[in-house]
Amino acid sequence: MKLVVDENILLAEQVFSLFGEVKLVNGREISPEILSDADILITRSVTKVDESLLKSSPVKFVGSATIGTDHLDLEYLKSRNIRFANAPGCNSFSVAEYVFAALLELADKYNFKLKDKSLGVVGAGNIGGKVIRFADALGMKILKNDPPLERAGIGSGYSSLNEILSCDIITLHVPLNKGGKDNTVHLIGEKELSALTENSILINASRGPVVDNSALRGILPKKNLKTVLDVWENEPVPDKELAKKVNIATPHIAGYSYDGKLNGTKMVFEALNNFLSANYIFPFQNNSEKKILNCSRYSDAEDVLRCAFRQAYKILDDDKNFRNIFRNEKEIGKKFDELRKNYHKRKEFCNFAVIVNEKSSELIKALKAFRLTIPEQ
């Protein structure tokens, strides 16, 4: 059995070689020729999987180690009886932690407390739900918008998008739906950007086209908005002028924690195992000893969390590295992909314990929500 696997999938060769011969390929270079004798395709979101890619191949299983499916023609896969699996929720904590790493840096720079702000969450699924969990633990006022979940009767207390736009902070966690009643392409366009309040914060860690990048670039010089973008239209060549205007800019790595990537690999491995009626055991575990973070100087929950993030995940380093890709206009796309391929081993908060002096109920609640423990004395 031959498997073509995106070379950027964590532990790809070690894991999937259990099933057969593995050929590692750059995800952007997977072609019909490469798949001409492949039985299995394991990929990520950078590969467009559709009829033009698969029509001449014997591929019978497609796995995507990602939460999204907008890069996949699911109807075509179904018509060819090609089994499909992705990894919903695999990196949801990673993205939620990214959001609060960014917010805590902005709160420090502009001297405000998150607990005094309202948060509008667009998309309340795996990721949005965890963002809501974190925000609730910090005492933020929360509005959520998710028409598909609302129609399905899952959860309650939903707000309209217009209501969300009045919040101090708006964060986007929706799939990329091209058309239909739940269209999310340019969900935040010129009209929505104009409706945002002065000094509000807009975060996009979902898909680049959810925000109209051209409209955002045009409005930022005119309106006092703070922006955090991890995803961009036209990746891997983002808008240079927009990037200059964004407060925190990163190369689509919000979900790139080691834990999230390992979860994605494992979920696709298990789906393939099931498809082939195999009985292989996933060969890797993530059971490392917790690293200690010393935040004993602080007692306020937000200050403790900021202290913890600055030791566990330095988001401003990601911002700095991203901005360096624009030094050579001809290599922007190459450098964007290299940042993702060579991304550092970022561990989620469940891998850390934090030393604090005061243990107020508010602090304990926040630490628990963020999956931080306090080491035993």
Residues involved in catalysis: 207, 235, 252
CA separation for the pair 84, 40 (Å, rounded): 10
SS3 62: strand
Q: What is the DSSP letter of 72?
A: B
CB 226 within 8 A of CB 219: no
* C-alpha dihedral sign at 120, 322, 310, 221: negative
Residue 236, preceding peptide bond in cis (omega within 30° of 0): yes
* C-alpha dihedral sign at 167, 173, 178, 180: negative
Q: Work out the angle between the directed axes of helices 361-369 and 126-137 (0-180°, nearest 10).
A: 170
Buried residues in 94-103 as b, exposed as e (16+ CB within 10 A): bbbbbbbbbb
Amino acid at 49: V
